[in-house]
Structure 1
Amino acid sequence: MFWLKKILSQLVMPVPFTLLCLLMALLIWRYCSKHKKVIGQLCLFLGFSTLLVFSNSYVSAALSHSLESRYSVNEIPLSFAYDENENYQCYVMVLGSGHTENNEISAVQQLSSTALARLMEGLRQLDIADRPCTLVVSGWSGGITPTPHAMIMKRAAIELGVPAESITIFPTALDTIEEAQAMKQLVGKTPFILVTSATHMPRSIKIFSQENLFPVAAPTNFISSTGYWWRFSAENLFISQRSIHEYVGMEWLKIKRFLIETFE
Protein backbone atom coordinates (compact mmCIF):
# COMPACT_ATOMS: atom_id res chain seq x y z
CA MET A 1 0.00 0.00 0.00
CA PHE A 2 2.88 2.38 0.79
CA TRP A 3 4.45 2.08 -2.67
CA LEU A 4 1.07 1.96 -4.41
CA LYS A 5 0.14 5.23 -2.70
CA LYS A 6 3.43 6.81 -3.75
CA ILE A 7 3.08 5.73 -7.40
CA LEU A 8 -0.56 6.74 -7.78
CA SER A 9 0.01 10.12 -6.13
CA GLN A 10 2.79 10.87 -8.61
CA LEU A 11 0.37 10.52 -11.54
CA VAL A 12 -1.57 13.62 -10.48
CA MET A 13 1.47 15.80 -9.79
CA PRO A 14 2.00 18.57 -12.40
CA VAL A 15 5.38 17.42 -13.73
CA PRO A 16 4.64 13.67 -14.06
CA PHE A 17 1.17 14.47 -15.42
CA THR A 18 2.66 16.79 -18.05
CA LEU A 19 5.24 14.19 -19.09
CA LEU A 20 2.53 11.53 -19.29
CA CYS A 21 0.37 13.75 -21.51
CA LEU A 22 3.29 14.51 -23.83
CA LEU A 23 4.21 10.84 -24.05
CA MET A 24 0.63 9.89 -24.88
CA ALA A 25 0.49 12.60 -27.55
CA LEU A 26 3.70 11.30 -29.10
CA LEU A 27 2.46 7.69 -29.15
CA ILE A 28 -0.92 8.65 -30.61
CA TRP A 29 0.63 10.70 -33.41
CA ARG A 30 3.10 7.91 -34.15
CA TYR A 31 0.85 4.87 -34.11
CA CYS A 32 -2.81 5.93 -34.37
CA SER A 33 -4.85 6.76 -37.42
CA LYS A 34 -5.33 10.36 -38.54
CA HIS A 35 -8.88 10.74 -37.19
CA LYS A 36 -7.68 9.76 -33.68
CA LYS A 37 -4.92 12.34 -33.64
CA VAL A 38 -7.33 14.87 -32.15
CA ILE A 39 -6.88 12.94 -28.91
CA GLY A 40 -3.14 13.51 -29.23
CA GLN A 41 -3.77 17.22 -29.68
CA LEU A 42 -5.89 17.19 -26.52
CA CYS A 43 -3.10 15.45 -24.58
CA LEU A 44 -0.60 18.02 -25.86
CA PHE A 45 -2.90 20.86 -24.80
CA LEU A 46 -3.46 19.36 -21.34
CA GLY A 47 0.27 18.85 -20.82
CA PHE A 48 1.33 22.37 -21.73
CA SER A 49 -1.67 23.92 -19.93
CA THR A 50 -0.77 22.08 -16.72
CA LEU A 51 2.82 23.27 -16.94
CA LEU A 52 1.71 26.84 -17.67
CA VAL A 53 -0.90 27.10 -14.92
CA PHE A 54 1.06 25.57 -12.05
CA SER A 55 4.28 27.44 -12.79
CA ASN A 56 2.43 30.74 -12.39
CA SER A 57 3.22 32.74 -9.24
CA TYR A 58 -0.43 33.53 -8.41
CA VAL A 59 -1.55 29.92 -8.72
CA SER A 60 1.33 28.53 -6.64
CA ALA A 61 0.81 31.22 -3.98
CA ALA A 62 -2.92 30.52 -3.74
CA LEU A 63 -2.40 26.77 -3.41
CA SER A 64 0.30 27.04 -0.75
CA HIS A 65 -1.19 29.92 1.24
CA SER A 66 -4.43 28.01 1.73
CA LEU A 67 -2.42 25.36 3.60
CA GLU A 68 0.10 27.56 5.37
CA SER A 69 -2.45 29.99 6.80
CA ARG A 70 -4.20 27.32 8.90
CA TYR A 71 -1.56 27.28 11.68
CA SER A 72 0.53 30.21 12.88
CA VAL A 73 4.11 30.07 14.14
CA ASN A 74 4.18 28.72 17.69
CA GLU A 75 5.63 31.14 20.25
CA ILE A 76 4.05 29.63 23.39
CA PRO A 77 5.78 27.04 25.64
CA LEU A 78 4.04 23.68 25.85
CA SER A 79 3.07 24.33 29.48
CA PHE A 80 -0.07 26.17 28.32
CA ALA A 81 -1.59 22.75 27.59
CA TYR A 82 -1.29 21.65 31.22
CA ASP A 83 -2.43 22.67 34.67
CA GLU A 84 0.06 25.03 36.27
CA ASN A 85 1.41 22.53 38.81
CA GLU A 86 1.16 19.40 36.68
CA ASN A 87 4.33 17.43 36.14
CA TYR A 88 4.87 16.25 32.57
CA GLN A 89 7.49 15.10 30.11
CA CYS A 90 8.10 17.57 27.29
CA TYR A 91 8.56 16.31 23.72
CA VAL A 92 9.34 18.17 20.50
CA MET A 93 8.84 16.01 17.42
CA VAL A 94 10.43 17.01 14.11
CA LEU A 95 9.20 15.15 11.02
CA GLY A 96 11.90 14.11 8.58
CA SER A 97 12.33 15.29 4.99
CA GLY A 98 15.29 13.70 3.28
CA HIS A 99 19.05 14.01 3.08
CA THR A 100 21.97 13.31 0.78
CA GLU A 101 24.46 11.03 2.48
CA ASN A 102 28.07 12.17 2.21
CA ASN A 103 30.50 11.30 5.00
CA GLU A 104 32.90 14.02 3.86
CA ILE A 105 30.60 16.80 5.07
CA SER A 106 28.79 17.47 8.33
CA ALA A 107 25.38 15.98 9.09
CA VAL A 108 23.87 19.48 9.02
CA GLN A 109 25.08 19.95 5.45
CA GLN A 110 23.70 16.55 4.42
CA LEU A 111 20.14 17.56 5.28
CA SER A 112 17.78 18.80 2.58
CA SER A 113 16.76 22.44 2.89
CA THR A 114 13.33 21.35 4.12
CA ALA A 115 14.76 18.99 6.73
CA LEU A 116 17.17 21.66 7.95
CA ALA A 117 14.37 24.22 8.28
CA ARG A 118 12.32 21.75 10.31
CA LEU A 119 15.25 20.86 12.56
CA MET A 120 16.07 24.51 13.25
CA GLU A 121 12.46 25.17 14.28
CA GLY A 122 12.64 22.12 16.52
CA LEU A 123 15.70 23.57 18.24
CA ARG A 124 13.90 26.90 18.63
CA GLN A 125 11.03 25.10 20.32
CA LEU A 126 13.53 23.51 22.72
CA ASP A 127 14.84 26.97 23.52
CA ILE A 128 11.45 28.50 24.36
CA ALA A 129 10.34 25.49 26.43
CA ASP A 130 9.96 26.10 30.16
CA ARG A 131 11.73 22.84 31.04
CA PRO A 132 14.14 20.31 29.41
CA CYS A 133 12.53 18.54 26.47
CA THR A 134 13.23 15.41 24.48
CA LEU A 135 13.81 15.98 20.78
CA VAL A 136 12.18 13.30 18.61
CA VAL A 137 13.37 12.91 15.00
CA SER A 138 12.16 10.40 12.44
CA GLY A 139 12.58 8.98 8.98
CA TRP A 140 13.83 5.84 7.24
CA SER A 141 16.58 5.58 4.65
CA GLY A 142 14.16 5.78 1.72
CA GLY A 143 15.70 2.59 0.35
CA ILE A 144 18.44 4.74 -1.22
CA THR A 145 21.02 5.55 1.44
CA PRO A 146 22.41 3.12 4.06
CA THR A 147 21.76 5.47 6.98
CA PRO A 148 18.20 6.24 8.16
CA HIS A 149 17.20 9.87 7.89
CA ALA A 150 16.43 9.94 11.62
CA MET A 151 20.07 9.14 12.40
CA ILE A 152 21.33 11.98 10.18
CA MET A 153 18.86 14.32 11.90
CA LYS A 154 20.16 13.18 15.29
CA ARG A 155 23.78 13.77 14.26
CA ALA A 156 22.87 17.22 12.94
CA ALA A 157 21.07 18.09 16.19
CA ILE A 158 24.13 17.00 18.19
CA GLU A 159 26.34 19.19 15.97
CA LEU A 160 24.01 22.09 16.79
CA GLY A 161 24.33 21.53 20.54
CA VAL A 162 21.57 19.11 21.57
CA PRO A 163 22.80 16.42 24.02
CA ALA A 164 22.65 12.93 22.52
CA GLU A 165 20.77 11.59 25.55
CA SER A 166 17.99 14.13 24.89
CA ILE A 167 17.22 12.76 21.42
CA THR A 168 14.88 9.92 20.49
CA ILE A 169 14.79 8.53 16.95
CA PHE A 170 12.22 6.63 14.88
CA PRO A 171 14.50 5.21 12.14
CA THR A 172 11.96 2.85 10.56
CA ALA A 173 8.96 5.18 10.08
CA LEU A 174 8.08 5.21 6.37
CA ASP A 175 5.60 8.09 6.35
CA THR A 176 3.61 10.45 8.56
CA ILE A 177 1.14 7.74 9.53
CA GLU A 178 3.90 5.50 10.85
CA GLU A 179 5.51 8.48 12.58
CA ALA A 180 2.23 9.12 14.37
CA GLN A 181 1.92 5.47 15.38
CA ALA A 182 5.46 5.46 16.75
CA MET A 183 4.84 8.69 18.64
CA LYS A 184 1.70 7.21 20.18
CA GLN A 185 3.79 4.44 21.71
CA LEU A 186 6.12 7.03 23.20
CA VAL A 187 3.81 9.75 24.55
CA GLY A 188 0.33 8.24 24.84
CA LYS A 189 -2.10 11.05 25.65
CA THR A 190 0.62 13.59 26.52
CA PRO A 191 0.53 16.75 24.36
CA PHE A 192 3.71 17.50 22.44
CA ILE A 193 5.11 20.02 19.97
CA LEU A 194 4.89 18.89 16.33
CA VAL A 195 7.28 20.53 13.88
CA THR A 196 6.90 20.17 10.13
CA SER A 197 6.60 22.30 7.00
CA ALA A 198 3.68 24.72 7.01
CA THR A 199 2.19 23.13 3.88
CA HIS A 200 2.42 19.68 5.48
CA MET A 201 1.04 20.74 8.87
CA PRO A 202 -2.74 20.44 8.15
CA ARG A 203 -2.38 16.85 6.97
CA SER A 204 0.02 16.00 9.80
CA ILE A 205 -2.33 17.33 12.45
CA LYS A 206 -5.17 15.32 10.92
CA ILE A 207 -3.11 12.13 10.93
CA PHE A 208 -1.87 12.56 14.50
CA SER A 209 -5.34 13.48 15.73
CA GLN A 210 -6.80 10.35 14.11
CA GLU A 211 -4.34 8.38 16.26
CA ASN A 212 -5.86 10.10 19.33
CA LEU A 213 -2.73 12.15 19.90
CA PHE A 214 -2.56 15.79 20.99
CA PRO A 215 -0.02 17.66 18.84
CA VAL A 216 0.63 21.39 19.22
CA ALA A 217 1.45 22.78 15.77
CA ALA A 218 4.78 24.52 15.20
CA PRO A 219 4.90 25.09 11.42
CA THR A 220 8.05 26.16 9.62
CA ASN A 221 9.53 26.31 6.10
CA PHE A 222 6.85 28.68 4.75
CA ILE A 223 7.13 28.75 0.96
CA SER A 224 4.12 30.79 -0.16
CA SER A 225 5.02 34.09 -1.79
CA THR A 226 3.05 36.35 -4.08
CA GLY A 227 4.84 37.50 -7.21
CA TYR A 228 3.88 39.23 -10.42
CA TRP A 229 0.99 37.57 -12.26
CA TRP A 230 3.10 37.22 -15.38
CA ARG A 231 5.95 35.40 -13.63
CA PHE A 232 6.40 31.71 -14.46
CA SER A 233 9.20 29.67 -12.94
CA ALA A 234 10.36 26.21 -11.87
CA GLU A 235 10.21 27.43 -8.27
CA ASN A 236 6.49 28.17 -8.63
CA LEU A 237 6.00 24.73 -10.18
CA PHE A 238 7.78 23.17 -7.19
CA ILE A 239 5.57 25.06 -4.73
CA SER A 240 2.43 24.03 -6.62
CA GLN A 241 3.52 20.41 -6.69
CA ARG A 242 4.22 20.33 -2.94
CA SER A 243 0.82 21.87 -2.24
CA ILE A 244 -1.04 19.49 -4.56
CA HIS A 245 0.74 16.58 -2.86
CA GLU A 246 -0.80 17.70 0.45
CA TYR A 247 -4.29 18.13 -0.99
CA VAL A 248 -4.12 14.68 -2.58
CA GLY A 249 -2.84 13.25 0.71
CA MET A 250 -5.78 14.70 2.64
CA GLU A 251 -8.25 13.28 0.14
CA TRP A 252 -6.56 9.90 0.46
CA LEU A 253 -7.07 10.05 4.24
CA LYS A 254 -10.79 10.60 3.70
CA ILE A 255 -11.01 7.69 1.25
CA LYS A 256 -9.02 5.43 3.57
CA ARG A 257 -11.21 6.25 6.57
CA PHE A 258 -14.36 5.69 4.50
CA LEU A 259 -13.12 2.27 3.38
CA ILE A 260 -12.19 1.29 6.93
CA GLU A 261 -15.57 2.35 8.31
CA THR A 262 -17.41 0.63 5.45
CA PHE A 263 -15.73 -2.76 5.72
CA GLU A 264 -15.23 -2.97 9.49
Structure 2
Amino acid sequence: MFWLKKIVSQLFMPVPLVVLLLLFALVILRNRKLVRSILSIAVLLLVFLSSTPGSNLLSSQLESQYPVNSGPIADGCLVMVLGSGHDESISGTAIQQLSSTALARLSEGIRQFNLGRDCKLVFSGWSGGTGSRAHAEVMADAAIELGIPKKRIITFPLAKDTIEEAQFMKWEVGTAPFRLVTSASHMPRSMSTFANIGLSPQAAPTDFITRQGYWWRLDAHNLWSSQRAIHEYVGQLWFQIKHERDILLPNENAQIVDR
Protein backbone atom coordinates (compact mmCIF):
# COMPACT_ATOMS: atom_id res chain seq x y z
CA MET A 1 0.00 0.00 0.00
CA PHE A 2 2.92 2.35 0.70
CA TRP A 3 4.32 2.06 -2.83
CA LEU A 4 0.83 2.06 -4.36
CA LYS A 5 0.18 5.38 -2.59
CA LYS A 6 3.43 6.82 -3.97
CA ILE A 7 2.71 5.70 -7.54
CA VAL A 8 -0.93 6.80 -7.61
CA SER A 9 -0.13 10.19 -6.08
CA GLN A 10 2.27 10.91 -8.96
CA LEU A 11 -0.65 10.89 -11.37
CA PHE A 12 -1.99 14.04 -9.68
CA MET A 13 1.29 15.97 -9.81
CA PRO A 14 1.44 18.88 -12.31
CA VAL A 15 4.01 17.57 -14.80
CA PRO A 16 2.81 13.92 -14.99
CA LEU A 17 -0.81 15.09 -15.19
CA VAL A 18 -0.14 17.51 -18.06
CA VAL A 19 1.95 14.89 -19.88
CA LEU A 20 -0.84 12.32 -19.53
CA LEU A 21 -3.32 14.81 -20.97
CA LEU A 22 -1.05 15.48 -23.94
CA LEU A 23 -0.51 11.76 -24.53
CA PHE A 24 -4.26 11.18 -24.40
CA ALA A 25 -4.75 13.95 -26.96
CA LEU A 26 -2.30 12.18 -29.27
CA VAL A 27 -4.15 8.88 -28.90
CA ILE A 28 -7.49 10.41 -29.91
CA LEU A 29 -6.01 12.70 -32.55
CA ARG A 30 -8.84 12.10 -35.00
CA ASN A 31 -11.43 13.63 -32.66
CA ARG A 32 -10.37 17.23 -33.17
CA LYS A 33 -13.00 18.77 -30.91
CA LEU A 34 -12.02 16.60 -27.95
CA VAL A 35 -8.33 17.09 -28.68
CA ARG A 36 -8.76 20.87 -28.59
CA SER A 37 -10.57 20.60 -25.25
CA ILE A 38 -7.86 18.43 -23.71
CA LEU A 39 -5.07 20.67 -25.00
CA SER A 40 -6.87 23.71 -23.61
CA ILE A 41 -7.17 22.04 -20.20
CA ALA A 42 -3.48 21.08 -20.25
CA VAL A 43 -2.38 24.62 -21.13
CA LEU A 44 -4.65 26.22 -18.52
CA LEU A 45 -3.40 23.82 -15.85
CA LEU A 46 0.21 24.56 -16.71
CA VAL A 47 -0.36 28.32 -16.67
CA PHE A 48 -2.30 28.26 -13.40
CA LEU A 49 0.08 25.95 -11.53
CA SER A 50 3.24 27.75 -12.68
CA SER A 51 1.92 31.23 -11.83
CA THR A 52 2.41 33.01 -8.51
CA PRO A 53 -1.33 33.56 -7.88
CA GLY A 54 -2.10 29.93 -8.70
CA SER A 55 0.61 28.34 -6.56
CA ASN A 56 -0.05 30.74 -3.67
CA LEU A 57 -3.77 30.01 -3.78
CA LEU A 58 -3.02 26.32 -3.27
CA SER A 59 -0.28 26.67 -0.65
CA SER A 60 -1.72 29.52 1.43
CA GLN A 61 -4.76 27.45 2.36
CA LEU A 62 -2.38 24.99 4.03
CA GLU A 63 0.25 27.32 5.46
CA SER A 64 -2.10 29.82 7.13
CA GLN A 65 -3.49 27.29 9.59
CA TYR A 66 -0.57 27.32 12.07
CA PRO A 67 1.57 30.37 12.93
CA VAL A 68 5.30 30.38 13.68
CA ASN A 69 5.87 29.10 17.22
CA SER A 70 8.37 31.02 19.36
CA GLY A 71 6.96 30.27 22.78
CA PRO A 72 9.24 28.94 25.54
CA ILE A 73 9.28 25.20 26.18
CA ALA A 74 9.17 23.54 29.60
CA ASP A 75 12.26 21.72 30.85
CA GLY A 76 12.81 18.19 29.58
CA CYS A 77 11.10 18.93 26.27
CA LEU A 78 11.01 16.91 23.09
CA VAL A 79 11.26 18.45 19.64
CA MET A 80 10.38 16.16 16.74
CA VAL A 81 11.63 17.03 13.24
CA LEU A 82 9.86 15.10 10.50
CA GLY A 83 11.91 13.55 7.74
CA SER A 84 12.43 14.96 4.27
CA GLY A 85 15.31 13.93 2.00
CA HIS A 86 19.04 13.84 1.37
CA ASP A 87 21.47 12.83 -1.38
CA GLU A 88 24.51 10.76 -0.50
CA SER A 89 26.00 11.23 -3.97
CA ILE A 90 26.96 14.73 -2.85
CA SER A 91 30.43 14.64 -1.36
CA GLY A 92 30.83 16.48 1.91
CA THR A 93 29.28 16.46 5.33
CA ALA A 94 25.73 15.54 6.28
CA ILE A 95 24.67 19.18 6.10
CA GLN A 96 25.62 19.39 2.41
CA GLN A 97 23.68 16.20 1.66
CA LEU A 98 20.39 17.46 3.06
CA SER A 99 17.69 18.81 0.76
CA SER A 100 16.58 22.42 1.12
CA THR A 101 13.42 21.23 2.84
CA ALA A 102 15.40 19.09 5.28
CA LEU A 103 17.73 22.02 6.04
CA ALA A 104 14.78 24.29 6.79
CA ARG A 105 13.27 21.70 9.11
CA LEU A 106 16.60 21.06 10.82
CA SER A 107 17.27 24.75 11.45
CA GLU A 108 13.80 25.22 12.94
CA GLY A 109 14.24 22.09 15.02
CA ILE A 110 17.43 23.46 16.50
CA ARG A 111 15.73 26.82 17.13
CA GLN A 112 12.95 25.05 18.99
CA PHE A 113 15.55 22.98 20.86
CA ASN A 114 17.14 26.20 22.10
CA LEU A 115 13.80 27.55 23.37
CA GLY A 116 13.85 25.05 26.24
CA ARG A 117 16.24 23.38 28.64
CA ASP A 118 17.33 19.75 28.70
CA CYS A 119 15.51 19.17 25.43
CA LYS A 120 15.96 16.27 23.04
CA LEU A 121 15.72 16.31 19.26
CA VAL A 122 13.86 13.51 17.51
CA PHE A 123 14.59 12.80 13.84
CA SER A 124 12.64 10.42 11.63
CA GLY A 125 12.98 9.04 8.12
CA TRP A 126 13.96 5.75 6.50
CA SER A 127 16.43 4.95 3.74
CA GLY A 128 13.85 4.97 0.96
CA GLY A 129 14.40 1.29 0.27
CA THR A 130 17.66 2.01 -1.56
CA GLY A 131 20.03 0.43 0.95
CA SER A 132 21.59 3.81 1.73
CA ARG A 133 21.66 5.43 5.14
CA ALA A 134 18.39 6.26 6.84
CA HIS A 135 17.44 9.92 6.54
CA ALA A 136 17.02 10.13 10.33
CA GLU A 137 20.71 9.22 10.76
CA VAL A 138 21.85 11.85 8.27
CA MET A 139 19.73 14.48 10.03
CA ALA A 140 21.25 13.43 13.34
CA ASP A 141 24.77 13.79 11.94
CA ALA A 142 23.92 17.23 10.58
CA ALA A 143 22.58 18.30 13.97
CA ILE A 144 25.77 17.09 15.65
CA GLU A 145 27.80 19.08 13.12
CA LEU A 146 25.83 22.14 14.21
CA GLY A 147 26.64 21.60 17.87
CA ILE A 148 23.80 19.46 19.22
CA PRO A 149 25.17 16.84 21.69
CA LYS A 150 24.64 13.33 20.37
CA LYS A 151 23.18 12.23 23.70
CA ARG A 152 20.33 14.70 23.04
CA ILE A 153 19.26 13.00 19.80
CA ILE A 154 16.75 10.22 19.18
CA THR A 155 16.19 8.66 15.75
CA PHE A 156 13.34 6.74 14.17
CA PRO A 157 15.12 5.29 11.10
CA LEU A 158 12.32 2.88 10.17
CA ALA A 159 9.49 5.41 9.78
CA LYS A 160 8.49 5.61 6.10
CA ASP A 161 5.72 8.22 6.18
CA THR A 162 3.83 10.60 8.45
CA ILE A 163 1.55 7.87 9.82
CA GLU A 164 4.50 5.70 10.85
CA GLU A 165 6.31 8.72 12.31
CA ALA A 166 3.28 9.29 14.53
CA GLN A 167 3.23 5.64 15.52
CA PHE A 168 6.86 5.70 16.62
CA MET A 169 6.37 8.95 18.53
CA LYS A 170 3.37 7.42 20.33
CA TRP A 171 5.64 4.62 21.52
CA GLU A 172 8.23 7.17 22.69
CA VAL A 173 6.16 9.82 24.53
CA GLY A 174 2.61 8.56 24.97
CA THR A 175 0.41 11.61 25.53
CA ALA A 176 3.15 14.01 26.69
CA PRO A 177 3.29 17.32 24.75
CA PHE A 178 6.11 17.97 22.28
CA ARG A 179 7.02 20.41 19.53
CA LEU A 180 6.38 19.13 16.03
CA VAL A 181 8.56 20.63 13.31
CA THR A 182 7.75 20.20 9.65
CA SER A 183 7.07 22.26 6.53
CA ALA A 184 4.16 24.69 6.91
CA SER A 185 2.30 23.08 4.01
CA HIS A 186 2.72 19.65 5.61
CA MET A 187 1.67 20.78 9.10
CA PRO A 188 -2.15 20.38 8.80
CA ARG A 189 -1.86 16.75 7.72
CA SER A 190 0.83 16.06 10.33
CA MET A 191 -1.20 17.55 13.18
CA SER A 192 -4.28 15.56 12.16
CA THR A 193 -2.27 12.35 11.91
CA PHE A 194 -0.55 12.78 15.28
CA ALA A 195 -3.69 13.91 17.11
CA ASN A 196 -5.63 10.99 15.64
CA ILE A 197 -3.71 8.46 17.71
CA GLY A 198 -3.81 10.45 20.93
CA LEU A 199 -0.58 12.46 20.74
CA SER A 200 -0.29 16.08 21.92
CA PRO A 201 1.81 17.92 19.30
CA GLN A 202 2.47 21.65 19.37
CA ALA A 203 2.89 22.94 15.82
CA ALA A 204 6.18 24.61 14.87
CA PRO A 205 5.91 25.18 11.10
CA THR A 206 8.80 26.19 8.86
CA ASP A 207 9.82 26.11 5.18
CA PHE A 208 7.01 28.41 3.99
CA ILE A 209 6.51 28.32 0.22
CA THR A 210 3.80 30.99 -0.14
CA ARG A 211 5.80 33.97 -1.41
CA GLN A 212 5.20 37.31 -3.06
CA GLY A 213 6.02 37.49 -6.76
CA TYR A 214 5.07 38.95 -10.11
CA TRP A 215 1.58 37.81 -11.09
CA TRP A 216 2.53 37.51 -14.74
CA ARG A 217 5.64 35.38 -14.27
CA LEU A 218 5.43 31.66 -15.05
CA ASP A 219 8.32 29.65 -13.65
CA ALA A 220 9.41 26.26 -12.35
CA HIS A 221 9.53 27.42 -8.73
CA ASN A 222 5.80 28.15 -8.76
CA LEU A 223 5.19 24.79 -10.42
CA TRP A 224 7.23 23.11 -7.68
CA SER A 225 5.26 24.95 -4.97
CA SER A 226 2.00 23.86 -6.59
CA GLN A 227 3.23 20.28 -6.66
CA ARG A 228 4.03 20.36 -2.94
CA ALA A 229 0.57 21.74 -2.16
CA ILE A 230 -1.16 19.15 -4.34
CA HIS A 231 0.90 16.44 -2.67
CA GLU A 232 -0.51 17.56 0.68
CA TYR A 233 -4.10 17.59 -0.52
CA VAL A 234 -3.66 14.07 -1.92
CA GLY A 235 -2.01 13.07 1.37
CA GLN A 236 -4.97 14.41 3.34
CA LEU A 237 -7.31 12.34 1.19
CA TRP A 238 -5.16 9.26 1.76
CA PHE A 239 -5.17 9.91 5.51
CA GLN A 240 -8.97 10.04 5.52
CA ILE A 241 -9.03 6.66 3.79
CA LYS A 242 -6.33 5.25 6.05
CA HIS A 243 -8.11 6.66 9.11
CA GLU A 244 -10.82 4.05 8.70
CA ARG A 245 -8.34 1.32 9.61
CA ASP A 246 -6.91 0.65 13.07
CA ILE A 247 -3.49 2.20 13.53
CA LEU A 248 -1.19 -0.31 15.18
CA LEU A 249 1.88 0.72 17.11
CA PRO A 250 5.17 -0.61 15.67
CA ASN A 251 7.09 -3.28 17.53
CA GLU A 252 10.49 -1.88 16.61
CA ASN A 253 12.21 0.19 19.24
CA ALA A 254 13.40 3.72 18.61
CA GLN A 255 17.16 4.02 18.44
CA ILE A 256 19.19 6.44 20.57
CA VAL A 257 22.08 8.00 18.69
CA ASP A 258 25.34 6.97 20.35
CA ARG A 259 28.25 6.98 17.97
TM-score (norm 1): 0.89
The gaps in structure 2 that reach 5 residues or longer are 247-259
CA contact (8 A) 1:101 1:145 kept: no
Q: Does 1:27 align with 2:27?
A: yes
Give 1:145 deviation, angstroms.
Answer: 5.4
What is the correspondence of 1:167-206 to structure 2 with a 5 Å cutoff? 167-206=153-192
Q: Which amino acid is the alignment partner of residue 57 of structure 2? A: A
Cα distance in 1, alignment partners of residues 126 and 242 from structure 2: 23
Question: CA separation in 2, counterparts of 1:103 and 1:252?
Answer: 33
2:16 aligns with: 16
Correspondence 1:6-155 to 2 at 5 A = 6-29=6-29, 34=30, 36-79=31-74, 89-102=76-89, 104-129=91-116, 131-144=117-130, 146-155=132-141
1:216 corresponds to which of 196, 202, 210: 202
Cα distance change on mapping 1:244 and 1:57 into 2, 3 Å: same
- Name the CA distance, whole Å, in 1 between partners of 2:19 and 2:156: 35
Distance 2:96 2:131 in 1: 15
Check the 8 A contact 1:193/1:218 in 2, yes or no.
Answer: yes
- Over the matched positions of the two proteins, sequence identity in percent amounts to 55
1:250 aligns with 2:224: no
Deviation at 1:149, TM superposition (A): 0.6
CA distance change for structure 1 residues 260 and 178 in 2, over 3 Å: closer, same or farther? closer
CA deviations 1:134-181 (Å, max 9, x no partner) are: 110010111235111111101101100011111111111110000000
Using the alignment, how far apart are the partners of 1:159 and 1:148 within structure 2?
17
Q: CA deviation at 1:254?
A: 2.1
Separation in structure 2 between the aligned mates of residue 199 and residue 212 of structure 1, nearest angstrom:
22
Compute the displacement of 1:11 (Å).
1.0
- Contact 1:67–1:199, Cα closer than 8 Å, also in 2: yes
- What SS does structure 1 have at the residue aligned with 2:155? strand
Deviation at 1:28, TM superposition (A): 2.3
* Structure 2 CA distance for aligned equivalents of residues 203 and 152 of structure 1: 24
Q: Secondary structure at the match of 1:136?
A: strand
Aligned length: 246
* 2:138 counterpart letter in structure 1: I
For residues 48 and 57 of structure 2, what CA distance do their matches in structure 1 show? 12
Report the AA paired with residue 107 of structure 1. Answer: A
**Per-residue CA shift, 1:170-204, capped at 9, x if unaligned?**
11111000000000000001100100001100110
Separation of aligned partners in 1, 2:125 and 2:78: 17
Structure 1, 2-11 or 185-194: larger mean CA deviation: 2-11
Higher share of residues assigned helix: 1
Shift of 1:38: 3.0
Offset at 1:256?
3.0
Give me the TM-score of the superposition, normalised by structure 2.
0.90
2:43 corresponds to which letter in structure 1? F
- Code of the residue aligned with 1:55 in structure 2: it is S
Moved over 4 A (4+): none
CA RMSD between the two structures? 1.6
Stretches of structure 1 that go unaligned for 5 or more consecutive residues are 80-87
- C-alpha separation in 2, matches of 1:104 and 1:91: 31
Deviation at 1:103, TM superposition (A): 6.7
- Structure with bigger gyration radius: 1
